[in-house]
Amino acid sequence: MVDSDTWGYDPQIRYMRGVFAAVEKTQREFLAAAGISSTDERLRRFRETALKYFEHSWAYVMQRGLAGDESSAVAIYILCLARAMSARGINIPQGSLPTDQKLIKLVEEALK
């Protein structure tokens, strides 16, 4: 019997795989800029909190018709991760955050 990845042909699955890959890449770069090691014990908590923030923010931004592409998802997640980290006293380096002012404003509104 040959196993084939039938999920891989579904456009939605392909889209989400692309989003996840982009988030992972950007997250590694962001964490390196913030001086957080991939073995840091706090990272799991940061990611769990960021995921909660992301789910809420993503829905909020989508309702306003401003998200939907891969770059928006990545930017929203990084903004949420930065918020989770800064809430725990981690200094977020200048220039390491996304600069899309509309997304920044909407994420801030969503997380009030």
Give the model's pLDDT for residue 14: 84
Separation of alpha carbons 69 and 62, rounded Å: 10
Section 102-107 average pLDDT: 94
- Max distance between CA atoms of the chain, in angstroms, equals 53
Q: Helix (H, G, I), strand (E, B), or coil: what is residue 58? A: helix
pLDDT at 1 over 70: no
- The pTM (predicted TM-score) of the whole model is 0.86
* 14-63 pLDDT tens trace: 888 888 899 999 999 999 999 999 999 999 999 999 999 999 999 999 99
Copy the structure tokens of residue 99. Answer: 């600069």
pLDDT at 68 over 80: no
Confidence of residue 2 (pLDDT cuts 50, 70, 90): low
Confidence of residue 5 (pLDDT cuts 50, 70, 90): low
Asked if 83 and 48 touch (Cβ cutoff 8 Å), the reply is no
The candidate with the shortest Cα–Cα distance to 78, out of 62, 109, 57, 102, is 57
The amino acid at 52: K
Give the model's pLDDT for residue 51: 96
